[in-house]
Homo-oligomer: A and B are copies of this chain.
């Protein structure tokens, strides 16, 4: 008898969580060569700037991604919990949002925040990868969209390493620009715990669990490909597309 995924019984919550974590252990972008270079202090100033410029597009699109998730949720309690993510990025009366913190990082790295915000320096391939995340969330059921956010499970360690690496290895970077990563140190674990609980409770069949794991892999590929695009244009082989406005 051939137990296909849909006929198999669901994994226990512990087994399912272990499967989700195993995705991160192999495919989360902390292992990407560009991040390894970054954390070894081997990026040039221009390469680190390019990362800040391109990754800004991710920050820019994340609140729309979260609004799409909100728009799929019927449960007021879920929406009450999720809506805070949009304010985390956009800010409100009481706090500066993550997007503005990212622009302070850009300034700390010697970039013009207005130019970063114009998106002119976003590589086409970086844009396609980030847009694919919005499309992934838009095209899948709520529980898979939430599963794709579970890269947050793996973020805190990366953020902690990053703050230390950027402070020590890039002395030309103004340290006041690192607040974004400090903020994520507390936000990501809270968000990930909520998302993980939701995904575990709502994936009641093996097929749903499999699709959640697949959504998390798809999200890891998006983050990975975003770094591929930056690496390709600024490290190796170092080619940007012709007629791209920011090409030098």
Residues of A at under 8 Å CB distance from B? 23, 26-27, 31, 33, 124-125, 127-129, 131-132, 135, 217-218, 220-222, 224-225, 228-229, 231-232, 236-237, 239, 241-244
| Cα of A172 to Cα of B141 in the assembled complex, Å | 46
Q: Is the CB of B232 within 8 A of A26?
A: no
> Chain B residue with minimal CB distance to A128?
B128
10 pairs, CB–CB < 8 Å, chain A vs chain B: A27-B242, A125-B225, A128-B129, A128-B131, A131-B135, A220-B242, A228-B241, A236-B236, A236-B237, A237-B237
Of the candidates A127, A128, A236, the one having the most CB atoms from chain B within 10 angstroms of its own CB is A128
Residue of B nearest to A135 (CB): B131
A interface, over-half SS: helix
A124 cross-chain contacts in B, Cβ below 8 A: 129, 132, 218, 221-222, 224-225
Among B127, B221, B231, B243, the residue within 8 A (CB) of A241 is B221
Asked whether A224 lies within 8 Å of B241 as measured between CB atoms, the reply is: yes
Which residue of the partner chain B has the closest CB to A236?
Answer: B237
B residues within 8 A CB of A127? 132
